[in-house]
Amino acid sequence: MTAVTEVDALIVGGGPVGLAAGCALRAAGVKVLVADAGPAGRALDDARVIALSAGSRDILRGLGAWPATDVTPIQRIHISQRGHFGRTELRALDYDVEALGHVARAGTLARALGERAGALGLEVRYDTPVAGAQEQNGQLHVQTAGGDIAARVLLWCEGRISGDQALSRSRDYGQQAIIALATPVRPHGNVAYERFTPDGPVALLPYGRDYAVVYTCADTDAAALLAEPDAQFADRLASVMGERVQFSAIGQRSAWPLVLRMRTEIVRGREVWLGNAAQTLHPVAGQGLNLALRDVAQLTAVLLPALARGEGDIDTALQRYAQLRRTDRVATGGFTDTLVRVFGIGAGNPALGAVAGHARGAALALLDACPPARRFIGRRMMFGARGWP
């Protein structure tokens, strides 16, 4: 008879979200097992560049997993729209923070979390896919190629939402994000740009000496943009940014489809969904991973008294977590979706686009002239709908 591994928490997925949850629980003395479907080291090779908000930095520092190197601070965010007046800036000095956020490779974050997991003795099993679970007598039982596992709680931190029955909100934007590193002619000065265009937002995030570029385009244009010569793509970026930024080199490009997917239930019994398994957002304003890390922080804060110390009921704690996360999840998903849709009004209709552009420009100018409004927007981007923490 095969032996059953018994743990307090089984985490499915050894990416940044799963490892962050594992480190938070293990640091409190909880017996945790992480099961990842991929090979060891896969996350370390992830070259995607991510934006970590000031709130995420605080969460990761609290876990002892903030990367020591290869992170670039964002001191200023310049927000504008192409072809119309109006702009605003968010500055770290206005919020009494050392930086509005930091930019790092996903692999760098995975390495820092992996090292912390090793120091905590967190067990991670690779090449161990988990397809589903059955609840029996207050425990969740799963079968894997490496043996059966029984857990008091199961956290799904791997994969994306599938199946319409799991969705409360879904939108295919008909867009893709072209991702690349681009070297500016002049030093970036730790300034990030969010530039709205009729085709979608374009973001420049300072990373090392380069900019990490997120260029939104229609699905039908993605293949051509991936194939065009580097010099032509650099000219395309320069035309979008105007005189603000010029580029001397373009790195390898890749593309990602852009959708909004929000799961109706993030808690069902003793199962919890986090990260992309709970929600996938448009990358505008860089909220996806930051929302997921706030999920992790709040889940562990609510769950640990019951799971680690026997103070209260686990099921009650999980239901409370679902209620507490509702505001931040709905507001953050709505915030990114609204930005994309509002700044897309008039695309393909010059007359409507001109009117909408003037209205958006006036709104940006008003925001720039109103420090309390800028402070609200900035804190929301850094710490979530409730000004986390």
Give the C-alpha separation, 70 to 328, whole Å.
29
Q: Read off the pLDDT band of 389 (50, 70, 90).
A: very low
* pLDDT higher at 361 or 102: 102
Residues 43 and 143 in one domain: yes
* pLDDT (0 to 100) of residue 220: 95
Domain end among 227, 258, 289: 258
Distances (CA, A) of 59 to 23, 54, 66, 333, 389: 11, 9, 9, 21, 9
Q: Which domain holds residue 13?
A: 4-73+99-167+261-340
Q: Is residue 62 part of a domain?
A: yes
**So what's the pLDDT on residue 328?**
92
Q: How confident is the model at residue 199 (pLDDT cuts 50, 70, 90)?
A: confident
In a domain, 139, yes or no: yes
Q: What is the pLDDT of residue 1?
A: 46
Give residues with Cβ within 8 angstroms of 241, minimum separation 6. 193, 195, 202, 204
112 and 53 inside one domain: yes
Q: What is the pTM of this model?
A: 0.92
Burial, 276: exposed, middle or buried (Cβ in 10 Å; 0-12, 13-18, 19+)?
Answer: buried
The pLDDT of 113-132, averaged and rounded, is 94
Residues in the chain, how many? 389
Do 381 and 74 touch, CB atoms closer than 8 A? Answer: no
For residue range 328-368, what is the model confidence (pLDDT) as tens digits? 999 888 888 888 887 776 676 777 766 666 677 677 777 77
Structural domain count of the chain: 2
Q: Is residue 243 part of a domain?
A: yes
pLDDT digits (tens, 9 = 90+) for 223-275: 999 999 999 999 999 999 988 899 999 999 999 999 999 998 999 999 999 99
Residue 387 has pLDDT above 80, yes or no: no
Kindly state whether residue 310 falls inside one of the protein's structural domains: yes
Quick one: pLDDT at residue 388? Answer: 43
pLDDT of residue 237: 93
Same domain membership, residue 308 and residue 160: yes
Q: Does 146 lie in the same domain as 51? A: yes
The reply to whether 155 and 302 lie within a common domain is yes
Percent of the chain whose pLDDT exceeds 70? 93
Residue finishing a domain among 241, 258, 275: 258
* Average pLDDT value for the chain: 89
Which residue, among 204, 184, 185, has the nearest Cα to 193 in the 3D structure?
A: 204
In a domain, 36, yes or no: yes
Question: Is 276 found in the same domain as 155?
Answer: yes
Residue 351 lies in a domain: no
Q: What does the pLDDT look like over 64-94, one tens digit per residue?
A: 999 989 999 999 999 988 877 778 899 999 8
